[in-house]
Amino acid sequence: MNALAKTVEKDAIYDLATGGLRGLNAALQALDEKNAEKLWTIRNPRGAHALAVGVTVPVRITIDGHAGYYCAGMNDGALITINGNTGTGVAENMMSGLVHVRGDASQSAGATAHGGLLLIEGNAAARCGISMKGANIVVKGDVGHMSAFMAQSGNLVVCGDAGEALGDSLYEARIFVKGTVKSLGADCEKKEMNAEDKEILAALLQQAGCCEAPEMFTRYGSARGLYHFHVDNAGAY
């Protein structure tokens, strides 16, 4: 049986049990705007790495099971749903679109992401949002240590608790945490929540389908003490 089986005129099913990963990614990367309404369902992913990477059109993709490393990496416009857990680096370097993880995510979720929304229904491991550059990340559970490490811009919303060294070496990204924070990283501090912060947070919570009020969260940001090297701060770098 061919791995690609058409179900209706605009939809497609790709079964990784019978088709190769390279063939899947090649087909997805070859899509153009004419295929924007197509719905792709990927069956039997069985933890495969680099699933649905480099997609550049607003196509809808459902991965029906657990995914491995770098799932949905470099996404630029696609709406990708993973019905399971994901390995390291989900939505790494995402430019735009939506990546929705219905389970847990391993470390470095949303690393270096420039845009779009990464929504994680469960927990995210260490370094969630590391070096993020403009993306929005909403985690409905907890995040691990050193989340938002060197995050440059964008927003990280955590509806649960955060681990050690949150926001270490942070630049201008915003961090919102509803639960407790084990410790803050270098140059990260608690901030007053202003009207703009509340507006941004409320919009992200609504997009994520969360019922929490912005007032339930604490905002963290950069103390701006490490922007430029100074010998007196050498121990903090």
Q: Structural domains in the chain? A: 4-236 (2.160.20.60)
- DSSP 8-state secondary structure symbol assigned to residue 23: H
The Cα–Cα gap between 32 and 67 comes to 25
Q: What is the predicted pLDDT for the residue at 161? A: 98
Q: What is the predicted pLDDT for the residue at 10? A: 64
Q: What is the predicted pLDDT for the residue at 237? A: 55
The predicted-structure confidence for 57-75, as pLDDT tens digits, reads as follows 999 999 999 999 999 999 9
Q: What is the predicted pLDDT for the residue at 9? A: 47
User: Residue 127: left if φ>0, alpha if ψ -120 to 50, beta else—which one?
Assistant: left
Q: What is the predicted pLDDT for the residue at 236? A: 61
The residues near 213 (Cβ < 8 Å, ≥ 6 apart) are none
The residues near 52 (Cβ < 8 Å, ≥ 6 apart) are 24, 25, 28, 42, 61, 63, 71, 72, 75, 78, 80
The predicted-structure confidence for 218-229, as pLDDT tens digits, reads as follows 999 999 887 666
* List of the chain residues with pLDDT < 50: 1-9
